[in-house]
A and B are shown apart, each in its own frame.
Chain A
Amino acid sequence: MTATPDSDDILSTAAAWVAQGEQVAIATVTETWGSSPRPAGSQLAVTKSGRMAGSVSGGCIEGAVAEIAMKTIETGTPQLMDFGITDERAWEVGLACGGKLKVFVEKLS
């Protein structure tokens, strides 16, 4: 049995990608309201080449977050994003659970 110290360990995956020469951004749930499926601290790692690991919402907003991550990889500027049913952007990407969440996206340099 290979030791998996933490099955939710996205940061280690991201660090390994950086070591392989990938450009990586990490998105982290910083705050949730209502019935968000993933708690604060949940992470999604995205590479410029299109690899993804982890999740911030269980599938609802990963596509949108990955796009923001691409921008963050290019600009190097961190972003704090709001997603929720009151937010038009989130409506477009369909946060069907009715929850709200904040996601912080940063480049892993």
Chain B
Amino acid sequence: MTPETLKALTEARAAKRPIVVATKLPSGEQLLLPDASAPAELAAAATRALDRDESGTQVIGNETWFLHAYNPPLRLIIVGAVHIAQALVPMAAHLGLAVVVVDPRRSFATEERFPNVTVSSEWPDDAMDELKPDVRTAIVTLTHDPKLDDPALDRALKSPAFYIGALGSRRTHARRVARLKELGHTDEAIARIKGPVGLDLGAITAPEIAVSILAEFVAARRNGALAPKPAEKQAA
């Protein structure tokens, strides 16, 4: 890899721009995509690699190319700068997630409790409007307070976020579902919310609950056997 390619790649990733390194095999000739001057078939293959978030080798024409897809990190928006969030943030960072903590209560969202984390003190719906959750965003509400959780979940359901979880017991969640229905959300839409959040590990402590949440997140992301299916959730 030439210094120019490495520099351009590093810059794109720092700017959180999706980018593909295309390497011709076995010669090692490289180009970065998207690039307007790239052959159409190669450009289309690069777009697919980013969409699927999957790197791989492809034969294009009579050439073999390895397409290495670099998407920006997945985002995790945590609503509630609570004790569980303090355990969840460092674990999520280890998974490579870009974490944002949202909590308008300044006594919770302090630098001391959340060093070096992006913290938004906006009201959750305003914060969501600013953060614009996309298909590579996960949202977890942890406050237990409908005043804070509900506006966040309302915005989450209006977004294409791939994982939405809400802390709270089954009873709490049933009441939450009723409130979200009053806001005009359908059962089908509300079934996107994993509630109670996390795989049922019998977790008790904050770090254990963080593990159960991230385990469910990974299952959802990788479509693993333990990924909750919306239909099952509705029946439950």
Task: Tell me the A residues contacting B by CB distance below 8 Å.
Answer: 1-9, 11-12, 15, 18, 26, 28, 30-31, 39-41, 78-80, 102, 104, 106-109
Contacts and interface: CB of A to CB of B under 8 A. Distances in A.
Contacts of B228: none
Nearest to B28: A78
Nearest to B26: A80
Contacts of A109: 1-3
A26 B1 contact: yes
22 contacts: A1-B89, A1-B117, A2-B93, A2-B116, A3-B116, A4-B93, A4-B94, A7-B93, A12-B10, A15-B10, A18-B6, A30-B57, A31-B66, A39-B55, A40-B57, A41-B55, A41-B56, A41-B69, A78-B26, A80-B26, A104-B26, A109-B1
Contact of B1 (A7, A12, A106): A106
Top 7 closest A-B pairs, CB basis?
A41-B55, A78-B28, A80-B26, A30-B66, A6-B96, A31-B57, A7-B96
Given A30-B57, A109-B1, A6 B117 contact: no
Interface in B17-41: 23, 25-28
Nearest to A30: B66
B24 to A, nearest CB: 10
A31 B73 CA distance: 23
A86 to B, nearest CB: 18
Contacts of B93: 1-4, 7
Interface residues of B, number: 31
A8 B70 CA distance: 11
Given A1-B116, A39-B55, A40-B66, 14 more contacts: A1-B89, A1-B90, A3-B98, A4-B96, A6-B96, A12-B10, A15-B10, A26-B1, A28-B23, A40-B55, A40-B56, A80-B26, A104-B23, A109-B1
A30 B9 CA distance: 18
Nearest to B1: A108
Contacts of A2: 93, 116
A104 B116 contact: no
A31 B66 CA distance: 8
Contacts of B13: 5, 12
Nearest to B74: A6
A26 to B, nearest CB: 7
Contact of B68 (A15, A41, A80): A41
Contacts of B54: 40-41
B9 to A, nearest CB: 7
B115 interface: yes
B137 to A, nearest CB: 15
Given A1-B89, A1-B117, A4-B96, A78 B27 contact: yes
B60 interface: no
A80 B28 CA distance: 9
